[in-house]
Amino acid sequence: MVRWNWLTAVILSVVAQGVRAEEPVPAIDPPPAPPILETQPTFLERLREGPMDIPAEGPRPNQYGEAMVLPPLVGSGKKFPSVQMGGVFQITSVFYSQTETNRQVLKNEDNLTGVEPDGTGIRRARLTAFGSVAENVDYRFQFDLGGFGRPTVTDMYMDIKEVPLLGHVRIGHYKQPFSLEELTSFRFNPFMDRSSLFIFHPFRRTGVGFFDWTEDGKWTWYVSGFRGFNDFYGNDLTDIGGYGLAARGTHCAYYENEGADLLHLGAVYSIIAPSNSNIQFGRFGGNAPELGLIQGQFGTSSFKQNQSMVNTGLQLTKYKDPVTGRSHQGTDYYQDFHLETAWVRGPFSLQAEGDIVPVSMNNGQTPIFGGGYIFATYFLTGEHRTYDRNLALFDRIKPKINSGKGHPFGGAWELCARLNYITLDSSGVKGGNLLDPTFGFNWYMNPYTKLTFNYIPVYLNSPGKYGDANSPSVRSQANAWGLQAQVDF
């Protein structure tokens, strides 16, 4: 009986499991999908929208490794601060052909062969940020990856506008008020490099100045005080001396046909006390002759550049002449009297500048150096040079038809020729004389793309030993060719 009871229990258990297997299994809901992440706007998208609203608890922390969007000024309507970006690069090739005499007179401790190096490389590579932080305060910051310092600070300044009696006040590292071709951006000059007068001029220095113009655009003025030579980042090289003052005034005698007909007149005066009573004209190359390229890293064995063929050497510095035994006391100060003019008549233009540079040496001598240039340009396609009356300088060329689809050879085609002269010989100082014409061609494919060719025959009369006043003068010749492609944005 027990056996039957056990068998019955087993059968009932199996039947019960089969019934349960036929019952539907309740559905199990899948886990909820993760919420869709909202796409975060990029930094540039937020920047275009203007400064973000600042919550009452203060600025939000930086969560994505990006720079925080600048907060707006109270009452500015979210217009400030503003920022715009720009840049320019130039790819340059230079080629030199020298006579044996020319190589001999250029030999020095930095160039044992006297050879002007050929090369292809990046002449300039600049990035710029500029804008306003308030209605009356503008700024500009630019650095160059192709200059001596790699990078080198070129512009870093602020402009305070609408200052009573002064107009615009500029503070920082900037171009000093000197020379039409120097204040005009290299992007808009017709030649690959500026004239040999560049050797005399302060160019970019750290200082403070003020400038303004008349409402009719006929008169401008610009006065600046600055420190002496700076390093690659705008800082003083010494705390002994090194101060300067420059003042420029210009007059636009007439401006007609939207700038197709104009006459510009200008004058500049500067006085500079060099640092440590030392000055050397022609120390750096690229402007005598007016074609050069920097290669390698400055301060290392890889560095080389096309040297200046005229150079005062140590003659205006504190040193003892190893030949005569005479001690030189250096330079107290030097002045620069500068005149400039430009005339535009439709597609044809003329431009000329000249310098007289008296140097007051500590031994009582006053050598007087000088130089000048004149150039002519002509647009085969009918354009004309563009002039900015408020700043008294030339601006961007605007082709009538851009090069592109359907117009592969469109753009502006320009012929140009320049005659340049500089002398560093006077009152026992012998740095040499240089006469060199430049023949050039420019193709402005559009307002932002430019292709250039320059040819320069060089006629040099210089000491037989580079920068040495005790060496007799020797005449020599060379030829230089340059090609350059430029894009700015």
- Lowest mean pLDDT: which of 69-83, 99-113, 370-384? 69-83
Model pLDDT, residue 304: 79
Q: What is the pLDDT of residues 5-18, one digit of tens each?
A: 544 454 445 444 44
Where does 145-291 show beta strands of DSSP type E?
Answer: 152-163, 167-175, 204-213, 219-227, 241-256, 261-275
Tell me the CA distances in angstroms from 154 to 14, 144, 189, 395, 486, one per residue in order. Answer: 94, 7, 18, 19, 18
Pairwise CA distance, residues 257 & 269, whole Å:
32
Q: Using omega within 30 degrees of 0 as the cis cutoff, is the peptide bond preceding 289 cis?
A: yes
SS3 342: strand
3-state secondary structure 163-183: ECCCEEEEEEEEECCCCHHHH
Model pLDDT, residue 393: 98
Interval 108-127 mean pLDDT: 94
- Lowest mean pLDDT: which of 330-344, 430-444, 462-476? 462-476
Model pLDDT, residue 329: 87
Residue 63 scores a pLDDT above 80: no
Q: What is the pLDDT of residues 244-294, one digit of tens each?
A: 999 999 999 999 999 999 999 999 999 999 988 999 999 877 789 999 888
> Residue 75: which pLDDT band, with cuts at 50, 70 and 90?
low
Model pLDDT, residue 39: 54
Domain spans of the chain, in order of start: 90-488
Model pLDDT, residue 79: 84
Model pLDDT, residue 234: 58
DSSP code per residue over 405-431? TTBTT-SEEEEEEEEEEEEEEETTEEE
Model pLDDT, residue 337: 99
Residues 6 or more apart from 94 whose CB is under 8 A from it? 118, 119, 120, 291, 292, 293, 306, 480, 481, 482
Average pLDDT, the chain: 87
- Lowest mean pLDDT: which of 124-138, 202-216, 225-239? 225-239
Element (H, E) at 122: strand 119-134
Pairwise CA distance, residues 227 & 248, whole Å:
18
Pairwise CA distance, residues 92 & 84, whole Å:
27
Interval 63-88 mean pLDDT: 66
Q: Which fold has domain 90-488?
A: Porin (2.40.160)
Residue 62 scores a pLDDT above 50: no
pTM > 0.95: no
Residues 6 or more apart from 298 whose CB is under 8 A from it? 148, 149, 150, 232
Model pLDDT, residue 231: 62
Interval 399-422 mean pLDDT: 97
Check: CB of residue 128 under 8 Å from CB of residue 85. Answer: yes
> Residue 46: which pLDDT band, with cuts at 50, 70 and 90?
low
